[in-house]
Structure 1
């Protein structure tokens, strides 16, 4: 429910800002937050409000010491930012709050012999069933960064960029197996929990997500 309230607040802010200010700008983005868009409106001569979204799906392979995984990164962000221009130029300092819907879906892959090794124990893929997991992050996260470009300063087209960090906290991992042989399910429960600890250790440094983004904007 909190997620829905945050999204509603962001959309309300975008609407109210656009009604209050005529010199708004829209931008199309590409970067580590995926493909997205932002709306910027001036609040003062050196302060803008910016509201945006970003999304992308990306698949890749990774592994722990025991298990190979097929990972699918799902980027989903909604942000509300303030851009401050300390020298009344193009350089800006940005900060704000982000609804962080980013997550990673993990699917375990049997090794070449058609088996899994979990916590030092080997199981055939047929007896172990499917190994699936999720890597999730804090849903509401602060953002800080710097950038270049003031899209609302002059009418027409412009280019801007962002360099920052999304402070999304420690990842939460959840690993489970389905379709296991009833004779091995009890033993698997303990070994899957041990593998989940290894997966958590693998991603423990993902507390801060780097944001690199370039945008093409147009001010009406």
Structure 2
């Protein structure tokens, strides 16, 4: 869907002569790999749109539980660059559609789960799954250096900023029937979920570092 939106924007930009310049870029950033477009709106203001994607597997732990996880980075951005004195240095502000998340699966040790000091069999718990998500809309502030789209040709770009994603929200669930211990498992899973949220609460700000190669038409 993101690629279709970007392609539609490309066609719109090519067909609208009001823009003094348009550029396209490929970038690598802490938000993933992506593509973007810039539109010259005034002599010093550039509007940008883009998308970012990246997946990575990892392992982590919380308390006595070990997790296999998968990081899924997925975001759209709509940004405005103000180029100071019409040069390459710019300040940036905008909004991001933030679909970044972690998927977690707890791994039993020796055929059992130990959740906050209480042991349950793998058959009772089944699969213990978790998801960590963020605010779906996240403001962005930053700065960087790049040529403006009105300057035709190849350019190299860099951006540094912060995405204000809010405190991550963790949710845990299990697939087993509890084997007579459902109430205890529910209680301990709720405590573990609270522990995860407490562990994640300080990750409100996501640093963004991006380098790109662009071409202005």
**Fold conserved (TM > 0.5)?**
yes
Alignment partner for residue 147 of structure 2, among 126, 150, 158? 150
Counterpart for residue 65 of structure 2: 67
The equivalences for 1:18-37 within 5 A come to 18=14, 19=16, 20-21=18-19, 23-37=21-35
Could you report, residue by residue, the CA deviation over 1:118-144 in whole angstroms, capped at 9, with x for unpaired residues? Answer: 122111222221100110111011000
Matched, 1:104 2:97: no
Alignment partner for residue 58 of structure 1, among 26, 50, 56? 56
Matched, 1:214 2:211: yes
Determine helix, strand or coil for the equivalent of 2:192.
Answer: helix
Could you report, residue by residue, the CA deviation over 1:161-187 in whole angstroms, capped at 9, with x for unpaired residues? Answer: 111111011111110111244312221
Alignment partner for residue 123 of structure 1, among 94, 98, 120? 120
Computed over aligned residues only, the root mean square deviation of the Cα atoms, in angstroms, reads 2.3
Alpha-carbon separation, structure 2, partners of 1:145 and 1:83:
9
Determine helix, strand or coil for the equivalent of 1:187.
Answer: helix
Alpha-carbon separation, structure 2, partners of 1:99 and 1:10:
14
Of 41-50 and 11-20, deviating more is 11-20
C-alpha displacement of 1:87: 2.7
Alpha-carbon separation, structure 2, partners of 1:138 and 1:53:
17
Determine helix, strand or coil for the equivalent of 1:183.
Answer: coil
Judge conservation of contact 1:116–1:124 (CA < 8 Å) in 2: yes
C-alpha displacement of 1:157: 1.0
Determine helix, strand or coil for the equivalent of 1:87.
Answer: helix
Matched, 1:173 2:184: no
Of 39-48 and 148-157, deviating more is 148-157
Alpha-carbon separation, structure 1, partners of 2:22 and 2:184:
60
Of 124-133 and 97-106, deviating more is 124-133
Judge conservation of contact 2:152–2:215 (CA < 8 Å) in 1: yes
C-alpha displacement of 1:24: 0.2
Could you report, residue by residue, the CA deviation over 1:195-216 in whole angstroms, capped at 9, with x for unpaired residues? Answer: 0011112211221111111001
C-alpha displacement of 1:107: 0.8
TM normalised by structure 1 equals: 0.90
Of 192-201 and 182-191, deviating more is 182-191
The equivalences for 1:128-207 within 5 A come to 128-207=125-204
Counterpart for residue 87 of structure 1: 85
Q: 1:62 to 1:213 in 2, by over 3 A?
A: same
- Runs of 4+ in structure 1 off by over 3 angstroms are 7-18
Judge conservation of contact 2:40–2:148 (CA < 8 Å) in 1: no
Q: 1:61 to 1:72 in 2, by over 3 A?
A: same
